[in-house]
């Protein structure tokens, strides 16, 4: 049995034909015996709703600064519209066991508030991200339970603190690349696929023909330092590398194209970028 975490961001969700093609591949691989956990983001959709509400999206090093109103937007967007729409698209693509959950469900993604931190890709000073969580623990039992029942979890990446605040536990916004990498590490999956709007990590971020097939940790850190990797590609690479050592078979960053999952799994680096420790 092959196990995989597939993460895609809001950009992929916004492209209905790309999303259908990818979910069709997941449906076929699942029918052939693979087990997938799908994690999704929703950054562009959250930006759009913030703007409609007169809020200004602020991101530092690819992570969103999250006040109380922004967290509310993240709940509406991630656990509301996009969770429902991704599951509906998965059902349409033939993935009959698709089931939407959040990182809050059964305490799947437990987290604590991130203290003010210095950020790669930001300035030198400490950044207070507000209601953004750092992952403390992934409780994999829920995913294993769903897999055993024939379901494919579709996970939106909110997290929960288990230290109660009055009558409730605090909910946190967590970057979807962070959550998917942590889940992949906890499950020790064979493949972590980070699917995005570009074909992989690019030498020149504006030139899709400059895809890097294999990227080492040292090269990745150098590229972040030299600002060759910027914005939303930073958390993807950093978080995947941080979790690779936990026992993920292979981490692939790749574009959302039909057949890409199978091709990358069979020959890592053939259509995307494979990260090596």
Ligand X SMILES: Nc1ncnc2c1ncn2[C@@H]1O[C@H](COP(=O)(O)OP(=O)(O)O)[C@@H](O)[C@H]1O
Ligand Y SMILES: CC(=O)N[C@@H](CCC(=O)OP(=O)(O)O)C(=O)O
Structure-derived torsion over alpha carbons of residues 231, 233, 237, 239, reported in degrees to the nearest 10:
60
CA distance 56 to 117: 21
Q: Facing residues of 159 across strands?
A: 172
- State the binding partner of 273 from ligand X, ligand Y, none, CB within 5 to 8 A by kind: none
Question: Interface with ligand X by CB under 6 A: which range of 6-14, 47-55, 80-88, 263-271?
Answer: 6-14
Q: Is 252 in the site for ligand Y (CB under 6 A)?
A: no
- State the binding partner of 205 from ligand X, ligand Y, none, CB within 5 to 8 A by kind: ligand X
Structure-derived torsion over alpha carbons of residues 12, 95, 2, 190, reported in degrees to the nearest 10:
20
User: Which is nearest to 109 in space by CA: 194, 186, 5?
Assistant: 186
Burial class (CB in 10 A: 0-12, 13-18, 19+), 232: buried
CA distance 160 to 148: 24
**Do residues 208 and 265 touch, judged by C-beta distance below 8 A?**
no
Cβ within 8 Å of residue 206, ≥6 positions away: none
Q: Which residue is nearest to ligand Y (CB)?
A: 41
Binders of ligand Y in range 27-66 (CB under 6 A) = 41-43, 46, 63-64
- State the binding partner of 198 from ligand X, ligand Y, none, CB within 5 to 8 A by kind: ligand X
Q: Is 9 in the site for ligand X (CB under 6 A)?
A: yes
Report whether 149 belongs to an annotated binding site: no
User: Which is nearest to 152 in space by CA: 30, 28, 17?
Assistant: 30
Q: Select from 13, 24, 40, 43 the one that contacts ligand X (CB under 6 A).
A: 43
Shorter beta-carbon distance to ligand Y: residue 126 or 267: 126
Q: Select from 232, 268, 269, 272 the one that contacts ligand Y (CB under 6 A).
A: 232
User: Which is nearest to 252 in space by CA: 20, 86, 5?
Assistant: 5
CA distance 156 to 38: 9
Report whether 203 belongs to an annotated binding site: no
Q: Site mask, ligand Y, residues 62-81, x = CB under 6 A?
A: -xx---------x-------
Binders of ligand Y in range 163-192 (CB under 6 A) = 173-176
Q: List residues near ligand X by CB under 6 A.
A: 9-11, 41, 43, 62, 177, 196-198, 201-202, 205, 228-233
Q: List residues near ligand Y by CB under 6 A.
A: 9-10, 41-43, 46, 63-64, 74, 132, 157, 173-176, 232
Residues making up the annotated binding site for substrate are 42-43, 64, 173
């Amino acid at each position: 049995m092959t196990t995989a975490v597939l993460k895609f961001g809001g950009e992929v969700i916004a492209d209905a034909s790309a999303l259908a093609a990818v979910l069709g591949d997941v449906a076929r691989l699942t029918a052939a015996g693979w087990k997938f956990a799908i994690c999704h983001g929703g950054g562009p959709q959250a930006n759009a709703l913030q703007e409609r509400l007169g809020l200004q999206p602020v991101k530092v090093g690819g992570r969103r600064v999250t006040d109380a109103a922004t967290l509310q937007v993240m709940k509406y967007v991630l656990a509301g519209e996009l969770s429902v729409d991704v599951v509906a698209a998965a059902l349409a693509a033939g993935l009959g066991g698709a089931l939407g959950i959040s990182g809050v469900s059964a305490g799947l993604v437990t987290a604590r508030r991130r203290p003010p931190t210095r950020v790669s890709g930001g300035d030198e000073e400490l950044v207070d991200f507000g209601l953004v969580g750092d992952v403390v623990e992934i409780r994999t039992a829920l995913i294993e339970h769903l897999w055993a029942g024939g379901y494919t979890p579709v996970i939106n990446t909110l997290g929960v603190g288990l230290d109660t605040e009055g009558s409730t536990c605090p909910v946190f916004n967590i970057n979807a690349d962070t959550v998917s990498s942590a889940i992949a590490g906890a499950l020790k999956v064979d493949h972590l696929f980070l699917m995005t709007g570009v074909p992989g990590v690019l030498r020149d971020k504006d030139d899709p023909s400059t895809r890097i097939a294999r990227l080492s940790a040292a090269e990745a850190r150098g590229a972040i330092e030299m600002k060759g990797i910027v914005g939303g590609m930073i958390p993807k690479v950093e978080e995947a590398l941080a979790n690779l050592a936990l026992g993920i078979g292979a981490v692939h960053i790749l574009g959302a194209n039909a057949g890409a999952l199978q091709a990358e799994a069979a020959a890592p680096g053939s259509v995307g970028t494979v990260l090596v420790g």
